[in-house]
Chains A and B, each alone.
Chain A
Amino acid sequence: MNKGERVNQFMKGEGLQKLIAVLALIILYMFFSFFGKYFLTVDTFISILDSSYYIGFLSIGATFVIIAGGIDLSSGTVMVGSALIGGVAYNVWGLPIALSLGIVMLSALIFGAINGLLVGKIGLPPFIATLGIQFISLGYCSVIAKVQTQTYPSLISKDGWFKQFVYKNEGFPMGIIWLILFFIIAWVILNKTVLGRYTYAIGSNEEAVELTGIKSNNWKILVYIVNGFFCGLAGIIYAATYSTITPQTGNGQEMYAIAACVIGGTSLSGGIGSLSGTILGVFVISVLKTGLLSMGLPVQWQQVLIGVVVILAVLMDVIRMKNLKRFSLT
């Protein structure tokens, strides 16, 4: 492949969108450095990183699901709900903290598996299945917690060690290390394993995959379980970040994850996408959130602007798809 062709192919694929995401990141950063208060400081930088962990994990999971042609509307509530159950295990059942965190993971994996079964075995459309699970996880986890707020041990207490993994260890944001680590693991799965290959294949043309003798439904279940795993990780980080987990919250967080994927060039019609793009998307959202705060704008403005960014990103996706298809109907 000569250089021109490669550039061409890059631009046709999600490369262009990734490039735009990088530019957007830089522009946003410069913009807030000018207009925000104390934006260009190490502290702000670290708080940008800090605010990207749990959305980062959610987004990694979402990337798998969306590339496979699905969507997960339950990841936000599964994350918070699982963290809540973990809190119950620690506070009410009196389990050791390590085991309680295990329960967070377990809970998220189970929800992931249920999503997978609903989509892969029963054949529900992902939108409907995961919307159902959104409500179920929202309600059921609160029921288990008897609608009581659960509090995780604080950083200085004996059981607070796990927060050290996330929080500043002598000023260093440890969470980024975990994000990088699991990013690499996810990247290997998506790009170097059979599961990853089938994720792209199924999103691209499921019928054709079936005709080659691959049981696409089983692989879809696996994709949703992988997603559940990352929701679980997000849940642990969420618990470490916020300490108090309020029942019946978490809905809406999945939208940030989906937005991050789209901003990073993952196509909602499946088959196209990358984890590196998703991480870029996560940082665009974090910078936007933190930056708007530094400008003293109320939280609601975050929502407005993130909405605008998402629409722009989807617009890019649509335009790109149109160029690819080169054809409109009739």
Chain B
Amino acid sequence: MEQKKKNILEMRDINKYFVGAHALDNCCFTLQKGEIHALVGENGAGKSTLVKIMTGVYTDYDGEYLFCGNKVHFQGIKEAQQAGISVVHQELNMMNDLTVAQNIFIGRESKGFFCSDKKLNEKAQKLISDFDIKVKPTELLKNLSVGKAQMVEIARAMSFESTKVLILDEPTAALSESESHDLFEKMENLRKKGISIVFISHRLGEIMKIADRVTVMRDGAYIDTLKVCECKIEEIICLMIGREIIEEPKQRSGVKENAPTVLEVTNLKSSKVKDVSFILNKGEILGFAGLVGSGRTEVMRLIYGVDKKESGEIFVNGVKRQINHSKDAIKYGIGYLSEDRKRFGLMLGLSVMDNIVLPSYTKLSKFGFVSKKKCLSETYRLIKQLKIKTFDTNQIVKKLSGGNQQKVVIGKWLLQDMDILIFDEPTRGIDVGAREEIYIMIKKLINQGNSIIVISSDLTEIVRLSDRVMVMSEGKITGELDISEANQEKIMTLATQG
């Protein structure tokens, strides 16, 4: 019996303005009971803004909002929460100095004035084992990896009992494939219980796998809603960016035979890295694959001099170098794009231009005076090249959409002329169109004579980009594959062996 399902949440003709931006332009959205509804669109399309209106973060907007059939206008986060809306916002929103348990139950410690950690820890332990996250409830949040912190935040959102609608804004951006898989299982279970889920992701493959329907947004406007089982990825992309993407054919980048080795690492060891050695040749893109937590980031941090290595040697252009600090690494021409832009990559309170040019001041100044003109022109160039969606070079980075923040980090490094660039999850939170741009840009860098290491949990990305793939598992390198023999299955097998 085909019965029209009931809409649990409906938004009609929503308009939202920011200074300098019309973020939502007569946007519409309907969510049915018990469905997983994907929301897609380019960086800056307005997805997160829509979510923030749904969840009561933004209270000043025009338009109609129906929840469970009633007209509502939430006057705050608490109201939306009480109505039954739980959310995981795009960026990590956790209290770093509090424990895992304290984070999960913040705001729900107890009914009275007193709260006991013991009870919270017990409750948290149950939740954590349910979710199969390998952390202790008493662990301080700042000691967790990004992926684990993200899992904890998701667990928190899913732990509200009165939840009718769960909104996940790019939850998988910081997760590994296997963690994402676990998450999808949890989402499936919730759907069976009749909970509706809004799911935002730039990984369209995930959406095809898990979602029932997908709504496409472009430039703050509603474009279309499709049934996932009746459409193809290409269709969605086309709606998203208004044109088709032409994927560059996979090809080896310009590594010449017997190209010199620019970076050699031997027997690198630390508490999380077990005897890692590898080389990087000039003009090569070396992919690092593995599960989140397999030690890839840790290896790069040792090379970049932010963590102390127990032993091991680093040769740059054949010369042994002591790298004790990121400053040393930069001096020898090694740049590192962190996987967690909010914590390490950006000065959120400063403008787009400041973020891009600050590290390159020496390059942009004459006799100690910074040339404003040069700064501006370089910034404009990068904004154009990377298609950063900002209305002005003076826009505060915090106000950019997540994906555009990531582009600013990339811009910052592009300006610095590093010989060796380490990209740690370069396309996290970046839409398909822009991702393609970043791939092209990486290839361009190679042609200019740079050498690049790419860490990615996205296997398609690894296979697309790399000339050679190193696979890590539990702090060890478990395999090395040339691109001619690398495919996703082979990498996965290596990544999961102990």
Cβ < 8 Å to A, chain B residues 86-123? 89, 93-98, 102, 106-107, 109-110, 113-116
In-complex Cβ contact of B358 among A203, A213, A215, A330 (8 A): A330
User: A330 contacts which chain B residues (CB < 8 A)?
Assistant: 326, 330, 358-359, 412
Chain B binder among A19-27, A150-158, A204-212: A204-212
User: A197 contacts which chain B residues (CB < 8 A)?
Assistant: 98, 102, 106, 109, 115
Interface size on A, residues (CB 8 A): 32
Min CB distance B75 to A, Å, is 12
Given A210-B77, A211-B57, A201 and B98 contact (CB-CB distance below 8 Å) = yes
Tell me if A300 is interfacial: C-beta within 8 Å of chain B: no
In-complex Cβ contact of B97 among A200, A325, A329 (8 A): A200
Whether the Cβ atoms of A209 and B326 lie closer than 8 Å is no
Cβ < 8 Å to B, chain A residues 223-282? 271-272
In-complex Cβ contact of A200 among B95, B113, B307, B325 (8 A): B95
- Complex: how many Å from CA A317 to CA B102? 24
- Complex: how many Å from CA A325 to CA B95? 14
Whether the Cβ atoms of B98 and A192 lie closer than 8 Å is no
Whether the Cβ atoms of A212 and B77 lie closer than 8 Å is yes
Whether the Cβ atoms of B81 and A213 lie closer than 8 Å is yes
Whether the Cβ atoms of A271 and B96 lie closer than 8 Å is yes
Min CB distance A279 to B, Å, is 20
- Complex: how many Å from CA A87 to CA B338? 60
Quick one: CB contact mask for A1-23 with B, threshold 8 Å, 1 for yes? 10000000100110000000000
User: A271 contacts which chain B residues (CB < 8 A)?
Assistant: 95-97
User: B76 contacts which chain A residues (CB < 8 A)?
Assistant: 213, 215
Tell me if B306 is interfacial: C-beta within 8 Å of chain A: yes
- Complex: how many Å from CA A271 to CA B97? 6
Tell me if B140 is interfacial: C-beta within 8 Å of chain A: yes
In-complex Cβ contact of A211 among B93, B110, B113 (8 A): B93
Cβ < 8 Å to B, chain A residues 113-166? none
- Complex: how many Å from CA A9 to CA B143? 9
Tell me if A93 is interfacial: C-beta within 8 Å of chain B: no
User: A193 contacts which chain B residues (CB < 8 A)?
Assistant: 113-115
Tell me if A42 is interfacial: C-beta within 8 Å of chain B: no
In-complex Cβ contact of B301 among A272, A324, A326 (8 A): A326
Whether the Cβ atoms of B98 and A204 lie closer than 8 Å is yes
Tell me if B320 is interfacial: C-beta within 8 Å of chain A: no
Given A271-B95, A324-B142, A192 and B115 contact (CB-CB distance below 8 Å) = yes
User: B93 contacts which chain A residues (CB < 8 A)?
Assistant: 205, 207-208, 211-212
Whether the Cβ atoms of B97 and A203 lie closer than 8 Å is yes
User: A325 contacts which chain B residues (CB < 8 A)?
Assistant: 343-344
Min CB distance A136 to B, Å, is 30
- Complex: how many Å from CA A281 to CA B466? 55
- Complex: how many Å from CA A13 to CA B325? 22
- Complex: how many Å from CA A20 to CA B359? 36
- Complex: how many Å from CA A214 to CA B80? 12
Give the tally of cross-chain contacts (CB within 8 A): 92
Given A1-B136, A9-B140, A197-B102, A213 and B78 contact (CB-CB distance below 8 Å) = yes
A194, A212, A214: residue with the most chain B Cβ atoms closer than 10 Å: A212
User: A192 contacts which chain B residues (CB < 8 A)?
Assistant: 114-116
User: B80 contacts which chain A residues (CB < 8 A)?
Assistant: 213
Tell me if A176 is interfacial: C-beta within 8 Å of chain B: no
- Complex: how many Å from CA A192 to CA B97? 16
User: B359 contacts which chain A residues (CB < 8 A)?
Assistant: 329-330
A13, A205, A209: residue with the most chain B Cβ atoms closer than 10 Å: A205
Whether the Cβ atoms of A204 and B113 lie closer than 8 Å is no
- Complex: how many Å from CA A193 to CA B112? 9
- Complex: how many Å from CA A262 to CA B398? 30
Cβ < 8 Å to B, chain A residues 293-330? 324-330
A195, A197, A201, A324: residue with the most chain B Cβ atoms closer than 10 Å: A197
Whether the Cβ atoms of A204 and B78 lie closer than 8 Å is no
Tell me if B364 is interfacial: C-beta within 8 Å of chain A: no
Given A203-B97, A204-B95, A204-B96, A194 and B115 contact (CB-CB distance below 8 Å) = yes
Min CB distance A203 to B, Å, is 7
Min CB distance B228 to A, Å, is 30
User: A203 contacts which chain B residues (CB < 8 A)?
Assistant: 97
Quick one: CB contact mask for A35-59 with B, threshold 8 Å, 1 for yes? 0000000000000000000000000
User: A207 contacts which chain B residues (CB < 8 A)?
Assistant: 93
Given A192-B115, A210-B77, A272-B97, A327 and B57 contact (CB-CB distance below 8 Å) = no
Tell me if B138 is interfacial: C-beta within 8 Å of chain A: yes
User: B113 contacts which chain A residues (CB < 8 A)?
Assistant: 193-195
Min CB distance B276 to A, Å, is 19
- Complex: how many Å from CA A213 to CA B157? 12
Quick one: CB contact mask for A177-213 with B, threshold 8 Å, 1 for yes? 0000000000000001111010011011101111111
B114, B325, B327, B343: residue with the most chain A Cβ atoms closer than 10 Å: B114
- Complex: how many Å from CA A89 to CA B114? 37
- Complex: how many Å from CA A62 to CA B55? 35
Min CB distance B18 to A, Å, is 17
Whether the Cβ atoms of A200 and B98 lie closer than 8 Å is yes
9 contacts between A and B (CB under 8 A): A192-B114, A192-B115, A200-B102, A211-B77, A211-B89, A214-B78, A271-B95, A324-B142, A326-B307
Which 9 residue pairs spanning A and B have beta carbons closest together?
A271-B97, A208-B93, A213-B77, A213-B78, A330-B359, A204-B97, A204-B95, A327-B344, A201-B95
Q: Which residues of B are interface residues toward A (Cβ below 8 A)?
A: 57, 76-78, 80-81, 89, 93-98, 102, 106-107, 109-110, 113-116, 136, 138, 140, 142-143, 301, 306-307, 325-327, 330, 338, 343-344, 347, 358-359, 412
Q: Taking A200-B95, A201-B106, A214-B106 as given, write out 19 further A-B residue pairs in contact, using a Cβ cutoff of 8 Å, ordered by the A residue number.
A: A1-B136, A9-B143, A192-B116, A193-B115, A197-B106, A200-B98, A201-B102, A204-B96, A210-B77, A215-B76, A215-B78, A272-B97, A324-B142, A325-B344, A326-B306, A327-B338, A328-B325, A329-B347, A330-B330
